[in-house]
Amino acid sequence: MVAGAVVLASILPVQQLRAEDGYELWLRYRPVESAHAGEYRGAVMQLVAAATTPTQIVTRAELRRGLGGLLGAAVPLSDVVTSNGALIVGTPASSPLVGKLELDTDQLGGDGYLIRSVIVDGHRATVIAANDDLGALYGAFHFLRLLQTRQSLDRIDVRVIPRIKLRVLNHWDNLDGHVERGYAGASIWDWHKLPDWVDPRYTDYARANASLGINGTVLNNVNSNALSLTPMYLAKAAALANVLRPYGIRVYLSARFSAPKEIGGLKTADPLDSAVRRWWKDKADEIYKTIPDFGGFLVKANSEGQPGPQDYGRSHADGANMLADALAPHGGVVMWRAFVYSSEQPDDRAKQAYTEFVPLDGKFRDNVIVQVKNGAIDFQPREPFHPLFGAMPKTPLMMEFQITKEYLGFATHLAYLGTLYQETLQSDTMAQGQGSTVARVIDGSLHGHKVTGMAGVANIGTDRNWSGSHFDQANWYAYGRLAWDPSQSSREIARDWVRMTFSNDQPFVDSVVDMMMGSREAVVDYMTPLGLHHLMGRDHHYGPGPWVAGGPRADWTSVYYHRADRNGIGFDRSATGSNAVAQYAPPLADSFGDVKRVPEQFLLWFHHLPWDYRTRSGRPLWDELVHRYTRGVNEVKKMRTTWDGLRGHVDAERHAQVAAFLAIQQKEAQWWRDASIAYFQRINGLPLPPGYAPPAQPLEYYEALSFPYAPGNG
Amino acid sequence: MVAGAVVLASILPVQQLRAEDGYELWLRYRPVESAHAGEYRGAVMQLVAAATTPTQIVTRAELRRGLGGLLGAAVPLSDVVTSNGALIVGTPASSPLVGKLELDTDQLGGDGYLIRSVIVDGHRATVIAANDDLGALYGAFHFLRLLQTRQSLDRIDVRVIPRIKLRVLNHWDNLDGHVERGYAGASIWDWHKLPDWVDPRYTDYARANASLGINGTVLNNVNSNALSLTPMYLAKAAALANVLRPYGIRVYLSARFSAPKEIGGLKTADPLDSAVRRWWKDKADEIYKTIPDFGGFLVKANSEGQPGPQDYGRSHADGANMLADALAPHGGVVMWRAFVYSSEQPDDRAKQAYTEFVPLDGKFRDNVIVQVKNGAIDFQPREPFHPLFGAMPKTPLMMEFQITKEYLGFATHLAYLGTLYQETLQSDTMAQGQGSTVARVIDGSLHGHKVTGMAGVANIGTDRNWSGSHFDQANWYAYGRLAWDPSQSSREIARDWVRMTFSNDQPFVDSVVDMMMGSREAVVDYMTPLGLHHLMGRDHHYGPGPWVAGGPRADWTSVYYHRADRNGIGFDRSATGSNAVAQYAPPLADSFGDVKRVPEQFLLWFHHLPWDYRTRSGRPLWDELVHRYTRGVNEVKKMRTTWDGLRGHVDAERHAQVAAFLAIQQKEAQWWRDASIAYFQRINGLPLPPGYAPPAQPLEYYEALSFPYAPGNG
Q: pLDDT tens for residues A71-83?
A: 999 999 999 999 9
A197 and B660: CB-CB below 8 Å?
yes
Kindly report the number of other CB atoms within 10 A of residue A33's CB atom. 12
Contacts of B21 (CB under 8 A, 6+ apart): B464, B465, B653, B654
> Among A64, A196, A464, whose Cβ lies nearest the Cβ of B664?
A196
Q: Is A304 a catalytic residue?
A: yes
User: Catalytic: which of A270, A348, A400, A406?
Assistant: A406
Which residues on neighbouring strands pair with residue B500, listed in sequence order? none
B663 and A196: CB-CB below 8 Å?
yes
A708 and B227: CB-CB below 8 Å?
yes
User: Looking at residue A19, what is its pLDDT?
Assistant: 77
Single-letter amino acid, residue A45: M
User: Looking at residue A489, what is its pLDDT?
Assistant: 98
Interface of A with B in 187-206 (CB under 8 A): 191-193, 196-198, 200
Checking if the pLDDT of A59 tops 90, the result is yes
A177 contacts chain B (CB < 8 A): yes
Contacts of A433 (CB under 8 A, 6+ apart): none
A196 and B18: CB-CB below 8 Å?
no
Checking if the pLDDT of A12 tops 90, the result is no
User: Looking at residue A11, what is its pLDDT?
Assistant: 36
Q: Is A510 a catalytic residue?
A: no
A chain contacts of residue B11, beta-carbon cutoff 8 Å: 72-73
Regions of chain B with pLDDT less than 50 = 1-17
Interface of A with B in 669-708 (CB under 8 A): 708
Selection from A165, A61, A81 nearest residue A121 by Cα: A81
ipTM (interface predicted TM): 0.95
**Helix (H/G/I), strand (E/B), else coil: B233:** helix
B68 and A200: CB-CB below 8 Å?
no
A709 and B5: CB-CB below 8 Å?
no
User: Catalytic: which of B304, B347, B366, B510?
Assistant: B304
A185 contacts chain B (CB < 8 A): yes
B176 contacts chain A (CB < 8 A): yes
User: Looking at residue B393, what is its pLDDT?
Assistant: 98
Kindly report the number of other CB atoms within 10 A of residue A112's CB atom. 20
Interface of B with A in 433-492 (CB under 8 A): 462-464
Which residues on neighbouring strands pair with residue B129, listed in sequence order? B90, B114
B chain contacts of residue A236, beta-carbon cutoff 8 Å: none
CB pairs under 8 A between A and B: 145
DSSP classification of residue A567: S
User: Looking at residue A347, what is its pLDDT?
Assistant: 85
User: Looking at residue A9, what is its pLDDT?
Assistant: 33
> Among A5, A6, A31, whose Cβ lies nearest the Cβ of B4?
A31
Query: B530 near B524, Cβ under 8 Å?
Result: no
B230 contacts chain A (CB < 8 A): no
DSSP classification of residue A386: P
B77 contacts chain A (CB < 8 A): no
How many residues in total does chain B contain? 714
Selection from A280, A370, A372 nearest residue A329 by Cα: A280
User: Catalytic: which of A121, A154, A304, A347?
Assistant: A304
Helix (H), strand (E) at residue B499: helix B490-501
B3 and A9: CB-CB below 8 Å?
no
pLDDT tens, position by position, A237-288: 999 999 999 999 999 999 999 999 999 999 999 999 999 999 999 999 999 9
Phi, psi of A593 (to 5 degrees): -80, -5
User: Looking at residue B7, what is its pLDDT?
Assistant: 33
B chain contacts of residue A13, beta-carbon cutoff 8 Å: 64, 68, 74
What's the CA gap between A354 and A340, in Å, rounded? 10
> Among B2, B17, B69, whose Cβ lies nearest the Cβ of A6?
B17
User: Looking at residue A417, what is its pLDDT?
Assistant: 98
> Among A11, A200, A660, whose Cβ lies nearest the Cβ of B197?
A660
Alpha carbon A131 to chain centroid distance? Answer: 28
Contacts of B490 (CB under 8 A, 6+ apart): B416, B418, B419, B421, B422, B478, B482, B517
A197 and B15: CB-CB below 8 Å?
no
> Among B186, B651, B707, whose Cβ lies nearest the Cβ of A2?
B651
A12 and B6: CB-CB below 8 Å?
yes
Checking if the pLDDT of A18 tops 90, the result is no
| pLDDT-based confidence at residue A468 (cuts at 50, 70, 90) | very high
User: Looking at residue A2, what is its pLDDT?
Assistant: 34
Phi, psi of A476 (to 5 degrees): -60, -45
B1 and A198: CB-CB below 8 Å?
no
B412 and A667: CB-CB below 8 Å?
no
Query: B396 near B449, Cβ under 8 Å?
Result: yes
B13 and A193: CB-CB below 8 Å?
no
Interface of B with A in 209-228 (CB under 8 A): 227
> Among B15, B72, B412, whose Cβ lies nearest the Cβ of A193?
B412
What is the arithmetic mean of pLDDT over A205-216?
Answer: 98
What single string gives the DSSP state of each residue in B77-91? B-SS--SS-EEEEE-
Which residues on neighbouring strands pair with residue A297, listed in sequence order? A253, A334
Q: Is B378 a catalytic residue?
A: yes
What is the arithmetic mean of pLDDT over A316-333?
Answer: 98
B chain contacts of residue A196, beta-carbon cutoff 8 Å: 660, 663-664, 667
User: Looking at residue A663, what is its pLDDT?
Assistant: 98
User: Looking at residue A714, what is its pLDDT?
Assistant: 80
> Among B10, B64, B708, whose Cβ lies nearest the Cβ of A9?
B10
Q: A354 vs A275, A348, A364, B110, CA distance in Å?
A: 31, 11, 15, 73
A7 contacts chain B (CB < 8 A): yes
User: Looking at residue A345, what is its pLDDT?
Assistant: 67
| pLDDT-based confidence at residue A340 (cuts at 50, 70, 90) | confident
| pLDDT-based confidence at residue A165 (cuts at 50, 70, 90) | very high
A508 contacts chain B (CB < 8 A): no
User: Looking at residue B300, what is its pLDDT?
Assistant: 97
B41 contacts chain A (CB < 8 A): no
B15 and A193: CB-CB below 8 Å?
no
Checking if the pLDDT of A408 tops 60, the result is yes
